[in-house]
Amino acid sequence: MIEQSSVAELVRTETPEMALQEISAALPCLLIVSILDNQEVASHIQFFKRLEASVRQYGLKVCVVTPLRNPQLAELATKKLGISEFIIEPIPARNFYFKLNMMLRSIDNFRRQQDARKVTENKMVVKKLATSDRPASAAARRKSRSSARRCSA
């Protein structure tokens, strides 16, 4: 369903380095990671640590899907590494799509907020430049008037 959507694009990667490149090009975005067995846990935790700054600053949402029932891993991932969703399989498709849809909406809202911030920052810069010119020229006028008065007196 997501592959056919005009709202989202699904990109599959084979290595964490390829995933990092795709993520950095598409921020803010949604990353879905699957952990299939306990041997993959350590490498995935290292990968999540590399993503921590992107999760906290740039609106990266990470969804982990796993059949492993490990409450310590779930707590570590969600509380310390900033993972948005930690889903233990099996999960009904409807619930999974609902969670993905909510994360995609939050990404859309984050993008809108970023755009609004950029617009307000641009307005503030223009206003600061415009207002900084006026007082300086008014102050210069006052100085020239007062110096002219002193000279004539």
State the pLDDT at residue 152.
52
Contact 35, 86 (CB under 8 A): no
Could you tell me the pTM of the whole model? 0.66
State the pLDDT at residue 1.
42
DSSP 4: T
Q: Which residues contact 13 (CB under 8 A, 6 or more apart)?
A: 19, 22
Contact 74, 48 (CB under 8 A): no
State the pLDDT at residue 68.
86
State the pLDDT at residue 98.
92
Q: Return the SS3 of 92.
A: coil
In order along its 153 residues, the chain shows pLDDT tens digits of 454 555 667 888 888 888 888 888 888 888 888 888 889 888 888 888 888 888 888 888 889 998 988 888 888 888 888 888 888 888 899 999 999 899 989 888 888 998 888 888 777 766 666 665 555 555 555 665 655 555 554
State the pLDDT at residue 142.
61
